[in-house]
Structure 1
Amino acid sequence: MSTAAPRPVAQDHLWSVDEHLEDILTTVRPLEPIELQLLDAQGCVLVDDVTVQVSLPPFDNSSMDGYAVRVADVEGASEEFPAVLEVVGDVAAGQADPPQVGPGQAARIMTGAPLPPGAETVVPVEWTDGGLGEGPVTGMRARSLAPEGAHGQVHIHRPAEARAHVRAKGSDVKAGDKALEAGTVLGPSQIALLAAIGRGTVRVRPRPRVVVMSTGSELVQPDEQLAEGQIYDSNSFSLTAAARDAGAIAYRVGAVADDAETLRSTVEDQLVRADLMVTTGGVSVGAYDVVKEALSHVGDEDEAGGGIDFRKLAMQPGKPQGFGSIGPDHTPLLALPGNPVSSYVSFEIFVRPAIRTLMGLKDVHRPRMTATLTADKALTSPKGRRQFLRGKYADGEVRPVGGAGSHLIAALAHADALIVVPEDVESVEPGSEVEVVLLG
């Protein structure tokens, strides 16, 4: 089960932002771990430490195309007085039985091939005549002109120190080292490391499946013709994208008409693919706020404490909120306001941390820092409410973007931070230090 029961609170209780967030994060539980193939585990969180079983590289190997030799045999070599060595064979990458290199001998070696027994260093092919007796040539020319199986002699024109151009066994990671720590989000480089040390599967918490639906009979899908009184549905797109950005596998349902039975039916249909459900719209006190009508009493009869609690929060934007669980598996559901800015701010403050909690991450919040407010005039904020204003952050300074209205969606496209004005502050002067939540 992914949730515990939300705590019961009096109906007229005005919740603070911190109380609501704490209720969500103490209710939502990380998803159960599963074993996945490497590529299926991308974006998931590692459950256990991973220990290296095989050193990387697993053997001494060459970092250059060239010749594997003994140091003493090329000491003092120069263009005028090259060292002339007998070529005893070739060493290719993946070769299991490289030739022995003795005094006065060299083995032609390819990049990544194991250092043959007896050899102490590698001389790049550019320092040689390529084994053709024609003076220095490039590695490409040496490979293209040398006949297959022809060894003969090689003239080496420069000395080499011991283990030059040799990648030492275990120089990347050694057997027994910790490759990755539990809690690591698996990206391309982490998956590369797991594959390189021979791990084909890994135990992770899966990416949460988040279903996003918006409500409102006035909503029309993009590319469709608007009729009088209609608007395009942007919330389901923005929140689905935000859920994916948070690390979830997100499914956009789109707009559901203002009909309680239709909404209930849609929610029930979507539960099969949801670890978390997010609705937007219909949570206020209007006559057509169908989310409250449809979901307020769902699960009331459930002795395990299911159901959705609709609340008023001391915040702007985002005062009306809903939270609880629904369905036989007590899938957590967060009901957000319908105004675009309200829904987006609510997502960042409440839903994103819930998604990151389901993933099993330790740090579930966006980074926060202090910045200097740059503005033409003082910011005002309603007393007793925590206000979140859109802002643009750079070099320790933040400036407001757009107004405070919860319908002003255009400013979201230009904002990369939220300016936080505490509940007990009604005015913030330019030049003041403010807390900002970084969004990118």
Structure 2
Amino acid sequence: MKYSPNNPILLSSSLRVDQAHEAIAGLVNEVLRESPLDAELVPLNDSLNRVLAEDLLSPIDVPSADNSAMDGYAFDGTCLKSGSGKTQLKIVGTAYAGKPFIGEIAAGECIKIMTGGLMPNTCDTVIPQELVSATEHDMIFDLSALKAGDNRRLKGEDLQRGKPAIIAGRILRPSDLGLAASLGIPNLMVKRKLRVAILSSGDELTPIGETLSEGGIYDSNRYSLTAMLNRLDLEVVDCGIVRDDPDSLRAAFCEAAKKADVLISSGGVSVGEADFTKQILQELGDVGFWKIAMRPGRPMAFGTLKAVPGKSPSHRTLFFGLPGNPVAVMVTFYQFVRSALLQLNGAKDIRPPLTQAMAEQPIRKKPGRTEFQRAILSRDPLGRPVVRITGSQGAGILRSMSEANCFVILGHDQENIAAGDWVDIALFEGLL
């Protein structure tokens, strides 16, 4: 479903989850074409979870020279062509990693070599030490135990000089930093951190640390949003709690749009008399869609802010208006906002991986919407992955989210699930 601002059809209907993904991705691509994100050079130790801005080319061959893949004895493999039986070679020296053997190796001779030791020019084969019978001066082995060229790591076998070691768009992991360090690279060119503004709207909201008024609730959404954004290593601009009136909301949206690339609000996106988010979004920009056929999280606004005083009209701030219920906030962030932020930040791998597990109990499901049910993944006595729902799935029951370690994702057209059926799951760890 292509993004189409203020389209009355999109605003009046509930999009399928896949259609919403398509619309969001399309708009993010438009924004990237108009305003590509800048890059910056950062020290290696500061680049974890950042997005690599350009291909990292290897400045060296890895390995830098032919070397041994194991502890053993290096020799000229030509002797293996003589047939079967045993042969005896004279040991004329030793090569260690970082301390090569210096000298000539003639026919009928070998050297003892350690893993990583440089291969002499006249040697192309290594036999593991456990396959030989050795004395101080000689070693004997069976010619059929290996073939010429075995157990030798060739120069440039892992990486060749000038070839990409890590591709642009990678969300850098600890192993990537280790790889860059192994190439002697101290700094990496990464995309700058996105600036993401967050706010909560609602007269009932109370900051933590203050006494609750009658009918009031503590604002938890900004804390869960901040934590999820910190997991992505983005810059968070906390705009606080905004009251339920158009002027306050308009001022908060304008201020946030001046400071940030993306604005995420929670609350005020349903159809109540005090829900002004849609009205303000239409005044200041474009509304892409308003409802998604999913549970929880059906009322979710998406669009852009551009008619903001003091800000260039050519620059658009992405807007996500999430529901007010705490679980719905986390579900919609996980399902839509996270991927959009990673895409906007230049990442290539933006969708969280899915796996499957067997349902421990029946799960009720109506076709016509995608459901995200909180669940606990474990293993049964046979070692098979099994998943059970964490009780009531109300959108305001944040405790169930805390107890869970995954979502069970039930597709748009799926119906009731029987115990023992395989279902799609998405793990929380590293995502929320």
TM-score for both structures, normalised by structure 1: 0.68
Counterpart check, 1:214 vs 2:203: no
| Correspondence for 2:16 | 17
CA RMSD in angstroms, aligned pairs only: 4.7
Q: Structure 1 residues 167, 378: closer, same or farther in 2, change over 3 A?
A: closer
CA–CA separation in structure 2 for the residues paired with 1:58 and 1:214: 56
| Correspondence for 1:50 | 56
Q: Structure 1 residues 117, 311: closer, same or farther in 2, change over 3 A?
A: closer
Q: Structure 1 residues 102, 270: closer, same or farther in 2, change over 3 A?
A: same
Secondary structure class of the residue paired with 1:322: strand
1:170-220 residue CA offsets vs partner (Å, 9 max, x unmatched): 576442444223332222332333244344444443343322221122222
Secondary structure class of the residue paired with 1:399: strand
Q: Structure 1 residues 437, 205: closer, same or farther in 2, change over 3 A?
A: farther
Matches within 5 A, 1:283-298: 283-298=269-284
Q: CA deviation at 1:5?
A: 6.1
Matches within 5 A, 1:16-415: 16-18=15-17, 19-29=19-29, 30=32, 31-32=36-37, 34-39=39-44, 40-56=46-62, 58=64, 173-245=159-231, 247-251=232-236, 253=238, 255-258=240-243, 259-298=245-284, 306-309=285-288, 311-327=290-306, 328=312, 329-375=315-361, 377-381=362-366, 384-394=368-378, 395-415=384-404
CA–CA separation in structure 1 for the residues paired with 2:412 and 2:181: 50
Q: Structure 1 residues 316, 61: closer, same or farther in 2, change over 3 A?
A: closer
Amino acid in the other structure paired with 2:421: E
CA–CA separation in structure 1 for the residues paired with 2:175 and 2:339: 25
CA–CA separation in structure 2 for the residues paired with 1:321 and 1:219: 19
Amino acid in the other structure paired with 2:23: D
Amino acid in the other structure paired with 2:14: W
- Determine if contact 2:237/2:260 at 8 Å carries over to the other structure: no
CA–CA separation in structure 2 for the residues paired with 1:413 and 1:252: 25
Q: Structure 1 residues 48, 385: closer, same or farther in 2, change over 3 A?
A: same
Q: CA deviation at 1:46?
A: 2.8
- Determine if contact 1:321/1:336 at 8 Å carries over to the other structure: yes
Q: CA deviation at 1:101?
A: 6.9
Q: Between Structure 1 and Structure 2, how many residues are aligned? A: 384
Secondary structure class of the residue paired with 2:8: coil
CA–CA separation in structure 1 for the residues paired with 2:273 and 2:370: 27
Q: Structure 1 residues 41, 342: closer, same or farther in 2, change over 3 A?
A: same
- Determine if contact 1:419/1:436 at 8 Å carries over to the other structure: yes
Q: CA deviation at 1:283?
A: 0.7
Could you tell me the percent identity over the aligned residues? 31
| Correspondence for 1:140 | none
Q: CA deviation at 1:222?
A: 2.7
1:51-72 residue CA offsets vs partner (Å, 9 max, x unmatched): 3222346568999xxxxxxxxx
| Correspondence for 2:133 | none
TM-score for both structures, normalised by structure 2: 0.69
1:380-430 residue CA offsets vs partner (Å, 9 max, x unmatched): 44x5333222122234322111312111110001222222334445x5243
| Correspondence for 2:149 | none
Higher Rg: 1
CA–CA separation in structure 1 for the residues paired with 2:211 and 2:137: 77
Counterpart check, 1:431 vs 2:419: yes
Deviates more, 1:223-232 or 1:406-415: 223-232
Where in structure 2 are there 5+ consecutive unaligned residues?
70-87, 106-114, 123-135, 142-151, 307-311, 379-383
CA–CA separation in structure 1 for the residues paired with 2:413 and 2:184: 56
